[in-house]
Amino acid sequence: MATTMVTTHLLKWLVGRPRPQVQAEFAELSNGSFPSGHASYIAALGGVLVVVTVMLVRKAGVRRAVAVLLGLLAVVVCADRLLLGRHYPSDIAGGLLLGVGLVLLGMVVLSPLPRGHAETAAPLVESVPVASRDLHVVLNPIKVEDVGQFRSIVSAMAAESGWSEPVWHYTSVEDPGTGQAAAAAVAGADLVMVCGGDGTVREVCAELASTGIPVGIVPAGTGNLLARNLGIPLYLRSAVDVTLNGQDRAIDMVRVSGDGLADTHFMVMAGLGFDAAIMEGVNEGIKEKVGWLAYVLSALKSLMFPAVGIEVSVDDEPFTRHRARTVVVGNVGYLQAGMPLLPDATIDDGLLDVVLIHPKRFLSWLPIVWRVLAKRSRTDSTLDRMTGRKVVIRASTDTPRQLDGDSIGPGRELSMECIHGRLLVRVPR
Per-residue pLDDT of the chain (429 residues; tens, 9 = 90+): 999 999 999 999 999 888 888 766 666 677 888 999 999 999 999 999 999 998 888 777 888 899 999 999 999 999 998 888 888 999 999 999 999 999 999 998 888 877 777 776 777 766 555 667 899 999 999 888 889 999 999 999 999 988 999 999 999 989 999 999 999 999 999 999 999 988 899 999 999 998 989 999 999 887 788 999 999 988 888 999 999 999 999 999 999 999 988 888 999 999 998 888 887 777 667 666 666 677 777 777 777 788 899 999 999 999 999 999 999 999 998 887 678 888 888 999 999 999 999 988 878 888 888 888 888 878 888 899 999 999 999 999 999 999 988 888 899 999 999 999 989 999 998
Which pLDDT does position 125 carry in this prediction? Answer: 63
Q: Using CA atoms, how far apart are residues 388 and 353, in angstroms rounded to an integer?
A: 7
Residues near 112 by Cβ (< 8 Å), separated by ≥ 6?
51, 52, 55
Other C-beta atoms within 10 Å of 316: how many? 9
Q: Using CA atoms, how far apart are residues 263 and 168, in angstroms rounded to an integer?
A: 28
Dihedral sign, Cα of residue 287, residue 292, residue 297, residue 301: positive
Q: Is 203 in contact with 253 (CB distance < 8 Å)?
A: no
Which pLDDT does position 76 carry in this prediction? Answer: 96
Angle formed at CA 414 by CA 411 and CA 416, multiple of 5 degrees: 165
Half-sphere exposure at residue 358, Cβ-oriented, CA atoms within 13 angstroms: 15
Q: Position 218: which residue type?
A: V
Q: For residue 185, what are the CA distances in angstroms to 68, 158, 212, 213, 423?
A: 46, 19, 10, 8, 14
Q: Is the peptide bond before 129 cis (omega within 30 degrees of 0)?
A: no
Residues near 266 by Cβ (< 8 Å), separated by ≥ 6?
202, 253, 254, 256, 331, 403, 404, 416
Q: Position 209: which residue type?
A: A
pTM above 0.85, yes or no: no
Other C-beta atoms within 10 Å of 70: how many? 19
Burial class (CB in 10 A: 0-12, 13-18, 19+), 61: exposed
Angle formed at CA 29 by CA 23 and CA 33, multiple of 5 degrees: 85
Q: Which residues of 381-399 are buried (b: 16+ CB within 10 A; e: fewer)?
A: ebbbebebbbbbbbbeeeb
| Domains of the chain, earliest start first | 2-109 (1.20.144.10), 135-245 (3.40.50.10330), 256-419 (2.60.200.40)
Torsion, CA 121, CA 127, CA 133, CA 138, rounded to 10: -80
Burial class (CB in 10 A: 0-12, 13-18, 19+), 187: exposed
